[in-house]
Amino acid sequence: MMASSYNAKEEDGHHSGASSGTGVSKNKKPDNTAFKQQRLPAWQPILTAGSVLPAFFVIGLIFIPIGIGLYVTSNNIKEFEIDYTGVSSDSPCYNCAKNFTWNTTEPCVCTVNFTLHQPFESNVFMYYGLSNFYQNHRRYVKSRDDRQLNGDLSALTDPSKECEPYRKSGDVSIAPCGAIANSLFNDTLVLYYVDSNNSISEIPLVKKGIAWWTDKHVKFRNPAGNSNLTLAFKDTAKPVNWAKPVYELDPSDPENNGFINEDFIVWMRTAALPTFRKLYRIIQKKSGATPTLPNGNYMLNITYNYPVLSFDGRKRMILSTISWMGGKNPFLGIAYITVGSICFFLGVVLLIIHHKYDNRNTSADIPS
Amino acid sequence: MERLRWVQHRCQQLLAGDSRRGWYSDGLHNSSLLNTHDPRGRVCGRQRTIFPRNGLHQQDYERVSRNYKSNAISTTKYTLLTFIPMNLFEQFHRAANLYFLFLTLLNWVPVVEAFQKEITMIPLLVVLIIIAIKDALEDFRRYLFDKKVNNNVVRVFCGTQKSYIDQCWKNVRVGDFVHLSCNEIIPADMLLLYSSDPRGVCYIETANLDGETNLKQRQVVSDFPLQGEEFTPESFHSRIECENPNNDLSRFRGYMEHSNGVRVGLHSGNLLLRSCTIRNTETVVGIVVYAGHETKAMMNNSGPRYKRSKLEKHLNTDILWCVVLLFIMCLTAAIGHGFWMNSFEESIFQVDTETSPALAGFYIFWTMVIVLQVLIPISLYVSIEIVKLGQIYFIHNDLSMYNEQLDSRIQCRALNITEDLGQIQYLFSDKTGTLTENKMVFRCCSIFGVEYPHEENARRLEVYESENSETAVRSVTLRSGYSGKSLSCRSLSCNRSSVSLHTLTAEPMEEDQLSGHVQLRTGAFCSRMAKEVVPDPALVKKLNWLTNHSSSETPSSMELTYITDFFLALAICNSVVVSSPNQPRHVIPEERTPLKSLEEIKLMFQRFSFSPFSALSPSQIKGSPHSFKSRLFIRGKRGSLTLSTLVSNTTDMSGSSQENDSKPDLSAREEEEQDVEDQETEDDLRDTQTNPDETRQSMQDLTRQVECVEEITDELVYEAESPDEAALVHAARAYRCTLRGRSAESLLVDLPGIGSLAIQLLHILPFDSNRKRMSVVVRHPLTGQVVVFTKGADSVIMDLAESPTDQTEVYNHIKEKTQKHLDAYAREGLRTLCIAKKVLKEDEYDLWLKAHMLAESSIENREELLLESAQRLETNLTLLGSHCSSDLNHSISELKYQYFKCMRVFSGSTGIVDRLQEEVPETIAALQRARIKVWVLTGDKQETAINIAYACKLLCASDKLLTANCGSKDACAALFEDLILEVQSGESLTDLTGNGESMSSSFILVIDGRTLGWALEDELRSNFLELSQRCKAVICCRSTPLQKSQVVQLIRDHLGVMTLAVGDGANDVSMIQVADVGVGISGQEGMQAVMSSDFAISRFKHLSKLLLVHGHWCYSRLANMIQYFIYKNVMYVNLLFWYQFFCGFSGSVMTNSWVLILFNLIFTSAPPLIYGILDQDLPAVTLMELPELYQDAQTSKTCVPYMFWITVLDAFYQSLVCFFVPYFAYAGSDVGVLSFGSPINASALFIILLHQVIESNTLTWIHVVVLVLSCASYFGFVLLLSGFCVTCSPPVNPLGIELLQMSHSLFYIICVLTTVTALLPRLFFQALHNTLHPSTVLKSAHMDTVDSENYCRRMQRWNMTHSKTNRLSAGADNPGLEPSLA
C-alpha cells in the first residue's frame, strides 16, 4: 500500500488523502444506532402468574356483565318457529310434500294453524327456514353470474361458464343463470290472524326492504336500456325449475321485478350453513300500543311449490323480533358468562400460585 | 433445493467439460503435430500450445488459438432475451415454486377448481416476480461491472503496426504481448517475459485475488535471452506449452521452446495473474496464456457458500408432518364428501349429480389440496431467507465485532446458517493466529548450545504489557481469574515466562493505537513489538567482539562462527521482501547502500580477520588461515566472487584453533591454491600487523559508517509471508545483521562490522507444511561454496540433523543441550524454530541442480519432483549449532573418505513469543461455560500447545492432563484403554464426593499428531471418541491440516454434534470446510481461511459475541419464527377445514378468495419476519454474562420435538374456537357465506397477531408499527373490496358484506369472545409454566430486570477493590467475580 514506486506512492498519497477527507463515510465502522445495534427500547413482557393474573381478573370482570347483558337481550327476543315440510302424515302439508315435484305445474296449497302464546311487540320479521339445504356447496355457490345480475347486457346473452349446467336452455341463455337462481325458493306464505271470534284477517306482509340496500341498488340491476322488462329479457329463457320467467316475479311492482326482486336477491345471497333462514317478509309495527302480533291463533297459508324431501330437507316458517345483537341466540351470552367465569377462576388459581411460587423464585434468584 | 443446485452445478460442469473436451482433442492434435520429437508432449496431452501473436506465426497462431477464450468476460447469468425463460427455469428449480406451480395447474382442472384461476397464481407470481427482480438487479450490476472491466484499456502489441497500441481488455487474446506499467492491473494470465527491473523480477499485489497485501515476486522466464534488454515482441519466436486452464492459483506448469529447440521450464513464479496489480516495476511485458474465463482468477470465482443448517433439516421433518396432516385432512374431506354425496339421491343444490360419490370424493381430495395449500408453509422458505438476511444484517452491523485497527467488520459469507451459530457443541480452534495474535516477537535464542535468555527483551515485553494492563483492567470489567491463572501456571511448575506470557494476554489496544498509523504504513507483520528487539547483552558482547576486538573477553571463535552464521541465516533464510517507506519496496539501492569496493572489503577483512584472531594465532597452529584468506583474495581479484560473509568463514577457520584435530572446511582445490597464494597473503598479513593502529582506526571508521548508514535507512520495512519470518529478520537486525534487500538472484545483507554484502542466491526451497521447513541455497562468496540454510520446526531439523558417528558424544551433548533449551522454550509457550546450515560441494550441487532443473521444467508432476528434490537437498543436515567442532571433524573425515561432501553447521534455535489475543481466556472460559467443548488443534509442539492452553484458561490447575504420545499403534490402543479407565475412576470419584462440581477436576487429553493418526483409524476410533467425550478439552498438537479436518469430521459424523472450526491460516482451510460452521480469522496469514469460511472475524474474542449472543438470538428467533409460522398456517387452514363439515366437504370456503390468498401473503406475512429478525429472548448483556444460557436455549421449549405438536394442538384449539364461536353465534340465522367468514377472518387475524405478542420476548415500536399495519392492511383491503367490488370477484361477490358486518355490534362481540377464548389457554399455561418451572433463561431475565442496577453497583465496587488489590499484590489470589456474585 504505502511503499510502491514513487509514482505509486504519490498516487497512494492522493488516495489516502482523499479517503481521509471522506474518511468518515468510507469507514466500515457500523453505525452506532439503537436499531443497528439491536438496542431499541423494548417492552419485554415476561408472562408469570404475577404479571398475568390482573389480566384474567379484568377479563372476567368485563366478560360476565357483557354475558349477562347479552343473555338478557337474547331472552327478550321473541321467536316462533313452525315446520311445515309435511314429513309426518298428520301434517297438513303431507300430501303436498308427498306429491309435489319440480315438474308439477299445479300448485298445492296447505294451511298450518298455530298459536302465539306471547304477543310480538315491535317489528316482526318473517323468515322461511330450510334445513339440510347446502347452499354453501362449492359448485352451487359458484353457479351464478354476477355480471348478468348486474345488468350487463353481454352477460345476459352469454352468461359465465360458472353457470353450467344452468347456463343455456337449448341455444337460449338462461336469465338468471346458474344453480342458485334455478333453485329459487318459491313457496308463498300468507299469514292470517284468527281472532277470538274466529274471524280471519290477513296480516299485511311488507316485501320491500328485506334485501340489503347495496344488493338492491348496486349489485343487482335489470338489463339496462329497456324499461320494459319483457323486452329486456326477450332473448333469454327462464331457469329450468321456474314456473315464470324472471320478469314476472312481481308483475305488480316494477321496482321489485326482474333481477331486483327482493325475494330473488335474498335467495341469491347464499347461506353459510346448511340450516338457515332467509328473511321473507316484514310485519311492520302498527302505531300505538297494540302489539304487532298479538297472542292468539294464526293460520299460515302455504302455496307449496318447493320440494325438499328428496334431500331430506325441512321447511320452516319463523317469526322473530330483533334486537341490537340480531336474532335470538342465547349462545353468546352464555359463552361470555362462561369465559368470564373461567377467567376469574384461572385468575384465582394464578393468584394462589403466585403467592406460593413466585415469591420463592424471586427470592432465590436475587443474590443478596 | 440443495440437490437442484447440485444438479445445476453438474450441468455446468458437463457443459464445461464438453467444451474442454472439444478443445482438448484439438489441442492434442496440434501438440502431436508439433511435438513428434517429444514423447512427453504426447503423453501429457492436456496442454495448451501458445504461439505469439506478433504477426510472425500467424498460421500457427490462428490454428491453435482459435478455440481459446478471448479476454472478454461475462459473469452475467442472463441476457435481455434469455432473462425471462432462464430465470423462470432457474426459479422452478426450487421445490417451493414447483409446489405453487402444481397448485396453480391443479386449479385449472375444472373438476377440482377451487378458486378463480388467477387467484391461485398470485402467490406464485408474487414470489417469482420478487425473485426475478432481485436476480435482474444483481445481474444488471454484474453486467455493468463486466462492461467496465471489459472496456479497460491496456497496451497490446500489434503485429501489423509493430508497436503497442491501446486495446480494450476484451480484445486481448491468448498470445498477445501486453505491456503494463506500474500500478496497472493485469488483464489476463500472462507469462512474464520482460521486466524493466534489471534482475528480471517484478512485483505484484494479489489483494484483488486473495486479499493479501504483501507483494509477491514474479520472475522473468528463466534463461530468457532478452532479459535485461528492451523486449521486442517481433523477435519472439518461441512456442509455449503449458497446462490447461485450472483454478489452482499456486500451480502453473509448462515450458517454453525456443526456435532453436531449447526448452525452458515455466512455473507459477513466471505467471502474472489476472486482476493482480503490478507494483514497483516500471514496465513489464508478458504474453497472454490464459484469457477471460480461463484465467485462474476467474476460475476461482465461486459464489457464496451454500450450507444447510441443522434447523432447516429439522424443519423439513416438521413440514413432512404438515404434509401428512394435509393428506389426512384432504382424505377426510374426500371420504366425507363421498358419503355426503351418497346420502342424497337428488337435490336442488347439487349442480353435478352424474359423478359417482367415489369419483367426486377423489376430485374433492385435489380441491382440498388447493384449498388447504397454505398448510404446507412453502412460503416459509422465502420467509426464512428474508429473516436470515435480516439477521445477517444485524450481525454484520454489530459494533462490538468491529475491529477498529483493521477497519473490518465481521463478514458473513454463508447466508443461511446463522442459527447454527446457536447450536455449536464442539469448537475446534487453531492456535497460532487464532488464539494468539500471530504477531511474532523474537524472544530468545540458543546458539552453540548456549542459551541467550534475552532477559532485557523479556522484561521489555513485560513492561510493555504492564503499561497496557493498567488500562486493560480498567476497561475490561470482567477480567476475573487473573491471578488464578498464574496460580495454575505455578502449580504446573511453569517458570517466569509463562507468567510473562500470561501478562501478554491483555489488550494490545495501546500498542495498536500507538502504532496504528505507523503500522498501516509498515506492511505485513511489522508491529512495534516485533521490530524492537532488545539484544541480549551477552550475545552483543560476543558479537561486538567481531567489530571491536579490544574487548577483554574472548569467546570461543567457533562459537562466534555460529553466532554470525546464525544471524546470517536469520537474515537470509526467508522470503522477506524489503522495502523502505521512502523507497520502492523491492529496490536494493545499490548506489545508495554503502557497498564498499572490493578492494576496501578486502582490506578491511584483512585487518579484521587478522586482529581478532591474531591472539589465537591460528596460523601458527595450522597454515590453513593463510590459505583460506589467500584463496579469498584470489577469488576477489579474479572477480569470480561478489562479496561474502567473511565473518562466518573466518570464524569457521578460527574455530579450528580450539580443537586441534579439527580442520577448516576447505575443498581440495582450495588447498592446492593455498601454496600459490600463500606468499601474497602473508605479505598482506604483515602489512596489517605493522600498522595495527591504522587498522583499528579504520575499523572504528567502518563501524561508525555502518551505524550511520543504519540510521539513515532505519526505516526498512520487511514484508514477510509469515510473521515468524518477520520476527526473525527483525531479531537479526537488532544484532545489526540487517537484510537490506533482495532480488531474485542476490541478497544484500549488512553484517556488523563488515557492512553490506551481496550474497548470491541460488535457490529458495519454499516452506511447505509437509516438509515443515524452508531452505535457501546461497553461494558463499568467500568460500565459493554452496551453502544451504535451513529453517524449520525443531523436530524436523533435529531429525534431519544427523549425528556423526565419530563424534557422537560431543555432538550429542550439544544436541541434547539445544533440545533442552527447545523444550524449555516450548514450555514457556514459545514457538521454536531451528536453523541449520549445510555446505554442499560443487559436484554434488551440480548433481542436485540438474535433477532440480529437471523437476522444475517438468509439467506433469512438478510438485512431487520439486518436493523430492528439496528433500534430497535437506536430508543431510546435521544438528549443528551447539557443536561445531564435531561437525568439522566429521566433514573432514567425510572429505577424506570421499564419501560425503557436506559440512553441516547447526546454527541454533530461536524462541519466538506469540502473544495471546486480547480476551482469549475470557472467551474460552465463556465458551466452556456455555458447555461448548473446545479443542485446540495445532501444528505446534506439545509443550507450547499445553502452555498456550494454560495461558488461555483452557486448562486450569486442577485439571488432570492425559497425555497420549505413543510410539506404536498397539501401544496407542492400550493407552486409550488405560486412559478411559482412569477417566472413569476419576469420574466415579467425583460422583462419590458428590459435590457436583465436576469442573474442579476434569480431564484434558493431549494427543500428538502421530498418536492422533492412529486414533483416527477405524479400530481405535471408538475408544478415542469415548475418551475425548469424557474430557473437558482436547489438545491435538503436531497435527497436520488433514488430521485437523479428519478430527472435525470424526466428531461431527460420529457424535452427530454441531461443530465449529476456527482458524486463520491455509492449514486450517480443510478443517473450516469440514465443520458445520467455519469461521475464518482474517489475521496475519492471508485470506485463504477467510475465503473458505462461513463467517470471517478479525479477533478470537468476537466468537463469544457471535456465538453466545448472535448465535443464541438467531437460533431462538428462527426456531420461534418457524413455529409461529407453522402455527399460523395450521390455525388458519383449520378454519377452512372445519367449514367443510358444514358444506358437505365440497371444498367451499367462507372467505373471499382474494382475502384467503392474501391473508398469508400480505396481511400476516410481516409479523413473523419481524419476529424472526428482531426478537430478543434475552438482552445481549445477560447472554454475555451467563454463557450457560447458550446451551439452555437448545434444550428449551423452542426446539424439542413435542413443541411442534403442542404448537399444532394449540393451533387446532384456536381454530376450533375461532370457527365455532361464530358458528354457534350464527347457527340457524340468515347469515350468508361471506358474512359468516367475516368475523372468523377478523378474529383469526387478531388471534394470530396477539399470539405473537404473547410469544414475543421483546416489543419495540417496530413491532407495534408492523402489527398495526397488518391490521390496517387487512381491514383496509376488505373494506375496499366491500365498498367498491361490484362485479370484480366473481362468483362470490364481497360487495357490502364487511361494511354491513362491521356495522353490527355482533361482529365485535364475536371477535372479542373468540380472540380472548382462543388465547386464554396459551396465556395461562405460559404464565403457569414460567412460574412453576422457571427456566434459567427466565430466571436470568428476571434477575436481569429486577436486579440489574444492584448488580451494576456491585460490579463497580468489585472492580474498584479488585484493581486495588491487584496493584498491591499482583500475584495474590483474588476472590474472583463469581463468589462475590453468589
Is B430 a known ligand-binding residue?
yes
pLDDT class for B894, splitting at 50, 70, 90?
Answer: very low
pLDDT class for A60, splitting at 50, 70, 90?
Answer: very high
* Weakest mean pLDDT among A227-231, B298-302, B858-862: B858-862
The predicted structure's pLDDT at residue B1140: 92
Distance CA A53, CA A346 (A): 8
Contact (CB<8Å) B1227/A327: no
The predicted structure's pLDDT at residue B1268: 94
Name the more confident of B27 and A303: A303
pLDDT tens digits along A292-332: 888 889 999 999 888 888 888 899 999 999 888 888 889 99
The predicted structure's pLDDT at residue B37: 40
Contact (CB<8Å) A2/B1341: no
CB contact at 8 A, B576 and B719: yes
Judging contacts by C-beta atoms under 8 Å, the chain B residues touching residue A328 are: none
pLDDT tens digits along B544-587: 766 655 444 555 666 677 777 777 777 777 777 776 554 444 44
pLDDT class for B511, splitting at 50, 70, 90?
Answer: very low
Judging contacts by C-beta atoms under 8 Å, the chain A residues touching residue B1350 are: 366
Residues 6+ apart with CB under 8 A from B810: B883, B885, B886
pLDDT tens digits along B831-841: 677 777 777 77
C-alpha cell at B814: 550439544
Judging contacts by C-beta atoms under 8 Å, the chain B residues touching residue A272 are: 1142, 1150, 1226, 1231-1233, 1235-1237
Domain boundaries, chain A: 80-322
Distance CA B1095, CA B1090 (A): 8
B394 CB within 8 Å of a chain A CB: yes
Judging contacts by C-beta atoms under 8 Å, the chain B residues touching residue A6 are: 584
Residue of B nearest to A351 (CA): B1328
Q: Chain B interface, mutation test: which of A140, A263, A337, most B Cβ atoms within 10 Å?
A: A140
Option in B1235, B1300, B1310 nearest A272 (CB)? B1235
CA distances from A242 to A140, A175, A186, A187, B1363 (A): 17, 11, 9, 12, 99
The predicted structure's pLDDT at residue B1132: 92
Q: Region B721-726: what's the mean pLDDT?
A: 69
pLDDT class for B780, splitting at 50, 70, 90?
Answer: confident
B contact residues 12-31, partner A, Cβ 8 Å cutoff: none
The predicted structure's pLDDT at residue B662: 37
Chain A closest-CA separation from residue B344 CA (Å): 5
pLDDT of B1344 strictly over 60: no
pLDDT tens digits along A263-283: 999 999 899 999 999 999 999
Residues 6+ apart with CB under 8 A from B493: none
Averaged pLDDT of chain B: 70
Distance CA B705, CA B721 (A): 32
CA distances from B39 to B34, B36, B43, B683, B862 (A): 11, 7, 6, 61, 17
- Grid cell 356447496 — which residue? A137
The predicted structure's pLDDT at residue B914: 67
The predicted structure's pLDDT at residue B875: 59
Chain B closest-CA separation from residue A196 CA (Å): 33
Chain A closest-CA separation from residue B1293 CA (Å): 7
Option in B399, B1148, B1253 nearest A136 (CB)? B1148
Distance CA B560, CA B541 (A): 11
C-alpha cell at A80: 316462533
DSSP letter at B221 equals P
pLDDT class for B293, splitting at 50, 70, 90?
Answer: confident
pLDDT of B1314 strictly over 90: yes
C-alpha cell at B716: 526498512
C-alpha cell at B777: 541455497
Q: Percent of chain B having pLDDT more than 70?
A: 64
The predicted structure's pLDDT at residue B877: 53
C-alpha cell at B102: 402444481
B1287 CB within 8 Å of a chain A CB: yes
pLDDT of B186 strictly over 50: yes
Distance CA B766, CA B311 (A): 44
Contact (CB<8Å) B1345/A44: yes
Contact (CB<8Å) B1259/A43: yes
Residue B538: count other Cβ atoms within 10 Å of its Cβ: 16
Residue B147: count other Cβ atoms within 10 Å of its Cβ: 12
For strands B1003-1008 and B1033-1037, give the pairing. parallel
Judging contacts by C-beta atoms under 8 Å, the chain A residues touching residue B394 are: 36, 38
pLDDT class for B909, splitting at 50, 70, 90?
Answer: low
The predicted structure's pLDDT at residue B499: 34
Work out the angle at residue B1048's Cα, subtended by the Cα atoms of residues B1046 and B1054, and round it to the nearest 5 degrees: 95
CB contact at 8 A, B1371 and B498: no
CA atoms lying within 13 Å on the CB side of residue B550: 7
C-alpha cell at B488: 495454575
Name the more confident of B690 and B1108: B1108
SS3 category, A247: helix
Q: Region B775-780: what's the mean pLDDT?
A: 79
Residue B1233: count other Cβ atoms within 10 Å of its Cβ: 23
Q: Region B645-667: what's the mean pLDDT?
A: 38
Distance CA A280, CA B867 (A): 101
Contact (CB<8Å) A271/B1150: no
Name the more confident of B1052 and B1069: B1052
Query: Number of Cβ pairs closer than 8 Å across A and B?
Result: 336
* Closest of B784, B776, B779 to residue B667, by C-alpha: B784
Residues 6+ apart with CB under 8 A from B650: B561, B605, B608, B609, B613, B628
B contact residues 1110-1169, partner A, Cβ 8 Å cutoff: 1142-1144, 1146-1148, 1150
Name the more confident of B453 and A204: A204
pLDDT of B1029 strictly over 80: yes
Contact (CB<8Å) B399/A30: yes
Contact (CB<8Å) A212/B1300: yes
CB contact at 8 A, B878 and B466: no
Q: Tell me, what's the ipTM?
A: 0.90
Residues 6+ apart with CB under 8 A from A199: none
The predicted structure's pLDDT at residue B481: 35
Contact (CB<8Å) A214/B1295: yes
pLDDT tens digits along B1094-1128: 888 888 888 888 888 898 888 888 888 888 988 99
Q: Region A219-246: what's the mean pLDDT?
A: 84
pLDDT tens digits along B347-406: 777 777 677 888 888 988 998 998 888 888 767 877 888 888 888 889 888 888 888 877
A contact residues 71-100, partner B, Cβ 8 Å cutoff: none
First CA to last CA distance, chain A = 57
Chain B closest-CA separation from residue A82 CA (Å): 14
The predicted structure's pLDDT at residue B801: 65
pLDDT tens digits along B228-256: 566 777 777 788 888 888 777 777 888 88
Residue of B nearest to A145 (CA): B1291
CA distances from B42 to B45, B747, B1237 (A): 5, 40, 79
Name the more confident of B1276 and B65: B1276
SS3 category, A219: helix
pLDDT class for B593, splitting at 50, 70, 90?
Answer: very low
* Weakest mean pLDDT among A45-49, B27-31, B54-58, B89-93: B27-31
* CA B973 to the chain's CA centroid: 34
Option in B344, B349, B1328 nearest A183 (CB)? B349
C-alpha cell at B425: 457443541
- SS3 string, B418-435, reads HHHHHCCCEEEECCCCCC
pLDDT of B39 strictly over 50: no
How big is chain B, counted in residues? 1382
* Weakest mean pLDDT among A251-255, B68-72, B1296-1300, B1372-1376: B1372-1376
Q: Region B1322-1339: what's the mean pLDDT?
A: 75
Sheet holding A188-194, edge to edge: A108-116, A296-304, A188-194, A200-202
Peptide bond into B1291 cis (omega under 30): yes
Top-ranked range on mean pLDDT: pick from B14-23, B179-188, B460-469: B179-188
CB contact at 8 A, A177 and A165: no
* Active-site annotation of B, residues: 430
- Grid cell 315438474 — which residue? A103
Q: Chain A interface, mutation test: which of B280, B284, B342, B348, most A Cβ atoms within 10 Å?
A: B348
